[in-house]
Chain A
Amino acid sequence: MMPEAAMRSPTQRTRQTADMVRQLSHEELTQLVNLVPMLRRFLVRRREPMIDKAELKAYLLQEMAQLGDEYRPMRDGDPFLGGLTVGEYFSLSDRGRAETWEDIHSMEIDDFEERDVKPEAHVSA
């Protein structure tokens, strides 16, 4: 249940602050959270991670740009998962894509080949 205060319309002061915060870079947001630690505690309590889609886009493009020339972007007519083309796959609904992944993960438990590990292997605990 959300607290009553959180359900009321934002005040003008809240809106003005929100407008300023939206203009901050990720670095500035980090500085802001360090200057106002209660923001971090509040976000943790609300379980809402801060995510900047523009920054993620830049990260993804940078990751792909670092690859060698032997790799190329997917094109609509390229073969893809489940015997579909890339275009066909991405024209499916999210549910349809999830079902495609279910279908292609068809190995039964007994189909897997088991292997040994080193006796001194690290066990996560």
Chain B
Amino acid sequence: MSNPRPMCLLDKNIARRIIEGLSHPDALSDEEALVIALWRRLRQVGHRLFISIETVNILRVFSAYQEMQVFLTSVEPMEPTRYFKRWARRLRGYGFTGEDAKVLSLGTFGTDEAGQILGVKVIITLDQSFINNLKANEPVLEEKLRAMAVNLSPPFCEAVLPRLVQPGEVLIALS
């Protein structure tokens, strides 16, 4: 596939901040403003933005609301592929919460509706403890993932661990 658009996965608290900001645009908190500035920038530069299929299914119930519709039309659902569960269960053994394990595993074993991608390079989160835990375990997790993937068929044998980044870091990098 030639020159695919950059992609990133937004965790559910990023989605929450955007939706809440859309509901009161004249009274944005600093954190909402940061996340919305990033969301706008990512859209301007043509990134494909994903949220988990679980979050999409929850939010779609309210898609008749302007605020929700604006957000939902800006994102795509990321769906679990084969090996998602196996990798998520292994991540649980490294101190990740169930929610963190779901998101991190989706970043490695997740795909779009057409099944044309595997994983994302970057997951954007506000959760510094999640970021710290990945940093602390990154070398061993990369080794575990390589060992797990080596015998899998393409494209799963090329699966990689995504980076976890704070919104401000991405916004500065794109400015």
* Residues of A that sit less than 8 Å from B by CB: 40, 43-44, 47-51, 53, 56-57, 59-61, 63-64, 67, 70-74, 78-81, 86, 90, 97-98, 101-102, 104-105, 107-110, 112-125
Contacts and interface: CB of A to CB of B under 8 A. Distances in A.
B70 A63 contact: yes
B118 A80 contact: no
A116 B109 CA distance: 10
A110 B20 CA distance: 30
A117 B67 contact: no
Nearest to B1: A122
Contacts of A112: 54, 80, 84-85, 102
A44 B173 CA distance: 8
Interface stretch (B29-37, B130-138, B140-148): B29-37
Interface string B56-98: 0010001011111110000000011111110011001000001
Q: State the main secondary structure of chain B at its contact with A.
A: helix
Contacts, number: 168
Contacts of B33: 51, 53, 56
B82 A109 contact: no
Contacts of A124: 7, 117-121, 160, 162
Contacts of B46: none
21 contacts: A47-B169, A49-B34, A53-B33, A56-B40, A64-B22, A64-B67, A71-B64, A74-B65, A79-B62, A81-B62, A90-B23, A108-B98, A109-B85, A110-B85, A115-B80, A118-B115, A119-B155, A120-B155, A122-B1, A123-B155, A125-B121
B126 to A, nearest CB: 10
Contacts of A98: 13, 16
B101 interface: yes
Contacts of B139: none
Among A81, A112, A120, residue most surrounded by chain B Cβ atoms (within 10 Å) = A112
Nearest to A70: B64
Contacts of A109: 85, 88-89, 92, 98, 101-102, 105
Among B54, B67, B171, residue most surrounded by chain A Cβ atoms (within 10 Å) = B67
A123 B159 contact: yes
A64 B74 CA distance: 12
A121 B21 contact: no
Contacts of B22: 60, 63-64
